[in-house]
Structure 1
């Protein structure tokens, strides 16, 4: 009777284990392929499930457009000698007399340091009065001062130098070597030159973005494009604010991948194959290479192109399917562009589910058998 009772107990344990598995389900990282396809519009779901091919990769290859508007690009380079309100001037005046107007007796040169141009654009010079400086060059100011002093001292010689004041400055902040406020001078009249003056970028150039704010207008450009396209190296204006920051775009990786997390982009354009590599590739012990999915809210115009329709309005839920086992699967994954906010999901291979089922049944049966053994005292 004992062997028969033992077989009966094992049978009960197996049935109990199957019941547990059937009722509770197996642990897994997300839906399987069958469940994803069941949620498609074709199956009365709410998402379009589309297999990726060459036509789909072309229709969805939308990269973020960065650049400056025509108002930024058409602004001419500032003349480095043009005086502006806030600039600081240094004046030296020589007089060929024993008793000069502007200096002590016996001193032929009078030096007026740090003469700042006021908000109205004027400076004050003793015996010459208020002189319009803003909009003029140092040479033009020199002639004006000389003309006003000639009636009071014979043949005065005047030198006017422009120092770096706050009349034409820009602020540079973010991921640069030295944040601060910098004057626009002859060597730093363009964006690239000013970035170099501030110590250059301190993040990877491939993901660096440069934003310029000017009087209510904003322009943004990739750092690398500044050097690839000379037209993007815009001329600066006083009051410009320059911000350097890393690309903030990211995608989420879930399922049978090397890691499951939110991942930032490492390049301007990121393909599906690069995104997979960036998260450590597919989990070789669990991933199904036929079940690589990209979930996205696609703009209506792109969704219409992908589906060959013209009646969709607004964002559409799209699920793009990549089969890496097909002859062109790797090429499609290489050409398919991942975008900001995408979710990359890799399903588990069928054998993984089977292995979990067997392990769950075996473990449950073993546990029940152990309890039975304890209950019968051996």
Structure 2
């Protein structure tokens, strides 16, 4: 009983001291881990959106479209077909001692390099300019043999590529083994080609893959490429593939178990995931009615930002079951800031400690702050 009376007496004295001392601190600010609930709600340059379980489904992040439809519909390249700028080699065997290309005792006559010109044609001695682009090596061999047979009896011709310059793609960026890679049957799709180049060190959710094809281009996330067969598009000769690790992350601040930066390296991370990964709300300091997500750009499904707005603030009430459920559906965006405001008692406790140099139990602080 005596201890209770002393505590009540101390509370009365402390309250009186506070009333007097606060007058001298009217122009001073009490240290805080961030803006209070009232400060967030009265900020003129942000849009405040109350998030409920009923509204959260309309606020999901737009699904990335991935590669354009022309890339998705692109058939696999027929890599046995000749393309522009390819360098070819011909070996000609003649059945006479002195043929068109000279003595044959030393073996076949090698004609190289022969380059397919910008019109898709190939110039062959004693044959002339013939169409090459789109033909297979076997089809071109048959044409050359037919033309030469008019001038030398029963020639035999072998056509081969001097290099793979016409059937290669370049890979650069955040890939383990960047370089120029020849296309073959197993690597005609982007996912297989990336594997051939050693893959990427970052999480697939952090990686974007861009394909530059002449004047056209498109990009898709590596996760989509791995999970969606339509996004595992065909790669064509001459494509430039650029791989970028985006290092997407969110920031967790305020009255939370541990303030930290959380990488968005999991698919479809939601607010409740980030709160749990940070140790949950601080039981002694957090205001469960004031859980916020700060976002620089307007969220899909919300009202357009008002003139002069610098972003949108989404407010969740964790004191209600529907607020927690809404947090389990609210998808996070890159660079979102999650902030949990402090309860008013925490700020009162700081004032008490600042003025009197003491720390009291939470219930007594609550009673004092409420005048009880």
**TM-score between both structures, scaled by the size of structure 1:** 0.78
| Structure 2 residue aligned with 1:346 | 340
Deviations 1:293-342 (A, max 9, x none): 123356487224xxxxx998997954322222323333221111222443
Q: By how many angstroms is 1:134 displaced?
A: 2.0
Distance in 2 between residues matched to 1:296 and 1:264, nearest whole Å: 16
Structure 1 contact 83–162 (Cα < 8 Å) conserved: no
Distance in 2 between residues matched to 1:343 and 1:87, nearest whole Å: 53
Distance in 2 between residues matched to 1:111 and 1:346, nearest whole Å: 77
| Structure 2 residue aligned with 1:6 | none
Aligned to 2:40, which of 32, 36, 42? 36
| Structure 1 residue aligned with 2:329 | 335
| Matched residues, number | 345
Distance in 2 between residues matched to 1:230 and 1:179, nearest whole Å: 24
| Structure 1 residue aligned with 2:288 | 289
Change over 3 Å in CA distance of 1:103–1:277 after alignment to 2: farther
| Structure 2 residue aligned with 1:86 | 85
Structure 1 contact 247–265 (Cα < 8 Å) conserved: no
Change over 3 Å in CA distance of 1:56–1:248 after alignment to 2: farther
Structure 1 contact 287–348 (Cα < 8 Å) conserved: yes
**TM-score between both structures, scaled by the size of structure 2:** 0.80
Distance in 2 between residues matched to 1:228 and 1:59, nearest whole Å: 24
Change over 3 Å in CA distance of 1:196–1:122 after alignment to 2: same
Distance in 1 between residues matched to 2:80 and 2:197, nearest whole Å: 22
Distance in 1 between residues matched to 2:42 and 2:233, nearest whole Å: 53
| Structure 2 residue aligned with 1:359 | 353
Q: By how many angstroms is 1:347 displaced?
A: 0.8
Q: Secondary structure of 1:328's partner?
A: helix
Structure 1 contact 300–314 (Cα < 8 Å) conserved: no
| Structure 2 residue aligned with 1:319 | 313
Distance in 2 between residues matched to 1:356 and 1:279, nearest whole Å: 24
| Structure 2 residue aligned with 1:228 | 227
Q: By how many angstroms is 1:267 displaced?
A: 2.8
Change over 3 Å in CA distance of 1:282–1:103 after alignment to 2: farther
RMSD over aligned Cα atoms: 3.3
Distance in 1 between residues matched to 2:144 and 2:334, nearest whole Å: 61
Deviations 1:22-50 (A, max 9, x none): 331211122212333344xxxxx565534
Correspondence list, 1:230-269, <5 A: 230-247=229-246, 249-257=248-256, 264-269=263-268
Structure 2: runs of 5 or more not aligned: 1-13, 359-372
| Structure 1 residue aligned with 2:152 | 153
Distance in 2 between residues matched to 1:300 and 1:346, nearest whole Å: 20
Q: Secondary structure of 1:34's partner?
A: helix
